[in-house]
Structure formats: structure tokens, C-alpha cells
Amino acid sequence: TSVKVKVPATSANLGPGFDVLGMALDIYNTVEMSVEPSGTMMVESIGEGSRFLAKNGSKMLVDAVQKVFDTASFDPGGLRIRQHNRIPLFRGMGSSAAAIAGGMVAANLLLPNPLTAEELLMLAAKMEGHPDNVAPALFGGFVIASQNGDDVRYTRIEPPPSLKVVVAVPAFTLPTKKSRTVIPARVPLKDAVFNMGRVGLLVSALAAGDLEMLRHAMEDRLHQQYRMPLIPGLDEVFAAACNAGALASTLSGAGPAVISFVTENSEAVGEMMRRAFGRHGIDCRIIETAVGR
């Protein structure tokens, strides 16, 4: 038997929800998997990052697959995996979460399905170190995921269908690890309080479809200000998107991609973000997309 799964790109944090909030985007990788009778492990990648993935042996995906097999005490002997990637790597769009979630869901489906969705989430969040990309990668839509050690609790909300997303994907990469080292281990209490308030507003705005609230609800004081020096022109990109009619903009995950929420004017918002990055000598690709499933 052969199984095939699709897994979405994700945008984590969404402004204030550092390591807690995430949204699936309408951009998908696919993973096909079958038991290989010859007993060898064969991984083939096409699309985004295939050269890098060939060199590193698609380690993240293979490790994720192995975690599921170990947990289910299953030894496939050999395995054939074919992935088609459309999510840009190392840009803050959840490519590693997609590798983890895609590998785990495909491996689980092959067996078939010894692990529950909750068990997959806990394994995936443990592997990634934070749950805010893997949760929407597994469940789609907008997800609130709260992790305490190995335990992860989550709630999924269906965002309003009118909500569209414009992503500016800079040509340079920024590993999440590096983008996390700049955030201080201690933050002022008033900043933590500010973000708690904004997260509350954001969850309720998306649940109620109150899109006008996003401009306030997506403000953040826990991570973006520290990451600004890593992404030249970031505040100008935010301002440009806002002037072009975006509802709100934020760093996507750990960056360097920026997402803007819109209900209209996608093209103008994308073009203004592209030009703002351009003024800092940064080429970027614009992707007009929507919330993923």
C-alpha cells in the first residue's frame, strides 16, 4: 500500500501569540509513502529546497517518520518516500513543521492510524520545540496551542472566509534557531500583560469575524522588536502594507517572511511590501494566498 498526505504551510505567532498561535496557509507540500520491499530507505524530494534536502537526507521528515514507527513498535524494513515541496525553506513559513507533521501523518496512515491526533501533536511539538506551527500544520485553520512539557492542549477556530493572506518572502533565509537567540529570557511584566491582552483580542476577533480589530489585536511586544535587526526594513514593510490597505501585518513565525491580512487590495499590498523590502536591497517573492485547511 501507498499513502499520500498533504500538509499546509503555517504562519506562527500572528503577532502577539509567540509560541502559542498559528494559522495554516493555502500552500501545501505532499508526502507519499510506501513500504519498500528491497529493505532500503529511499527519499526523493522535488520542488522547494530539494537540493538542500537531498544533501541533508530530509533528516527532519525521516526522524518524524521514525518517531511514529518507534511509538507504534513497527519496523517497516524499507521505506520509499516522495515529497513535493511548495513551502519555502527557512523563511518562517513552517517548512520544518510541515516536514514533521507530513512525515508523522503519512507514517501513521500507513500503519494505519495507531496514534490519535493528540498523540501526533504531542510528538510533533516535542520534536519542533514549540507547538505553534505543527498544530495548524496538523489541523488546518487557526489554532491556539499551549504546551507544558510534553503536554499540549489546543483549540481550533475557523477564521472568517473573507480573510486573505499576502506573504512577502525575502530571498534570504533565517534559521529559527538564530532568530530565537535574540529574544531575551526575561521580559518586562507590562510587556507580558500587553501580549496577553492582545492574544485575547485576536482570538475573539477571529472567532467573531471582527476583522477591524486585527490592527490592534496583532500588536506584539515579546519578539518582533528584538528580531527587527535581523530583517532589514521590517517596520517599513509593515507601514507600506498598512498604507496599501492591509488589516494588519506581522513577521511570519521567526521570519524573515512577512504576512499581511487583507480582505481586498491583495495585489497592491503585495507590491508595496515588495517595494519596501526592495528599498533595503532585499528581493522578495509575493504569494497571495488564503487560510489553509
- The yes or no reply on residue 18 touching ligand HSE (CB under 6 A) is yes
By beta-carbon proximity to ligand HSE, the closer residue of 53 and 254 is 254
Which of positions 250-289 make contact with ligand HSE (CB under 6 A)? 253-254
For residue 141, give the nearest of 121, 155, 158 by alpha carbon: 158
Q: Which residue in the set 176, 250, 260, 266 belongs to the binding site for ligand HSE (CB under 6 A)?
A: 176
Which distant-in-sequence residues (6+ apart) come within 8 Å of 129 by Cβ? none
Number of residues that bind ligand HSE (CB under 6 A): 14
The DSSP letter of residue 269 is H
- The yes or no reply on residue 221 touching ligand HSE (CB under 6 A) is no
Binding mask 118-157 for ligand HSE (x = CB under 6 A): ------------x-xx------------------------
- The yes or no reply on residue 12 touching ligand HSE (CB under 6 A) is yes
Stretch that binds ligand HSE, among 140-148, 172-180, 196-204, 206-214 (CB under 6 A): 172-180
Contact between residue 8 and residue 25 where contact means Cβ atoms under 8 Å apart: yes
Residue 239's SS3 state is helix
List Cα–Cα distances, 113 to 3, 73, 85, 159, in angstroms. 12, 13, 24, 28
Least separation in angstroms between CB 17 and ligand HSE: 8
* Whole-number Å distance between alpha carbons of 11 and 9: 7
- The yes or no reply on residue 170 touching ligand HSE (CB under 6 A) is no
